[in-house]
Amino acid sequence: MDMTTEQCEGLTEAQNKALLALLQANSITEAAKACGLTRQTISSYLADDKFSKEYYLARREQLERATRAVERYALEAVEILREIMNDKENSAASRTAAARAISERAKERTEADLLLRVEILERKK
């Protein structure tokens, strides 16, 4: 669900406003100010099963969108790092930093793949 344009069924208008504010804010207090509710009201919403489930699903969708955006630019970023690494006119420090960045991303990707495999295996149990 795109929380910027849709409302969650089963939530009140105030809860929908709170949900959107929580997705955009850095804290419950900030979200409360943004949607005109008290911090206590938003905290009580978060304690509600229906609201907390919708909030979780919206946060997960938000994270998935951000991850897809990062993945779209990852190849371009690696290409830029490769160019820096291979350009003999760049300083050794720049070339080394680019190489290290590529190596770290490769390691992180391998770790993420392994964690996904473990999660899949655990679900099969």
Domains of the chain, by residue range, sit at 13-124
Mean pLDDT of 42-49: 94
Region 68-76 average pLDDT: 84
Residue 48's pLDDT band (boundaries 50, 70, 90)?
very high
Residue 6's pLDDT band (cuts 50, 70, 90): low
Q: Residue 29: which pLDDT band, with cuts at 50, 70 and 90?
A: very high
Q: CA 65, CA 93: separation in Å to the nearest integer?
A: 34
Both tokens assigned to 74: 């990852």
* CB atoms near residue 118 (< 10 Å): 10
Amino acid letter, residue 43: S
Find the mean pLDDT for residues 49-63: 92
Average pLDDT over residues 52-80: 89
Helix residue ranges, H only, the chain: 13-24, 28-35, 39-47, 49-86, 92-124
Q: What is the mean pLDDT of residues 61-87?
A: 89
Counting residues of the chain whose pLDDT is more than 90, the rounded percentage is 59
118 vs 55: CA distance, rounded Å? 26
Res. 20 pLDDT band, cuts 50 70 90: very high
Enter the pTM of the model: 0.60
Per-residue pLDDT at 22: 96
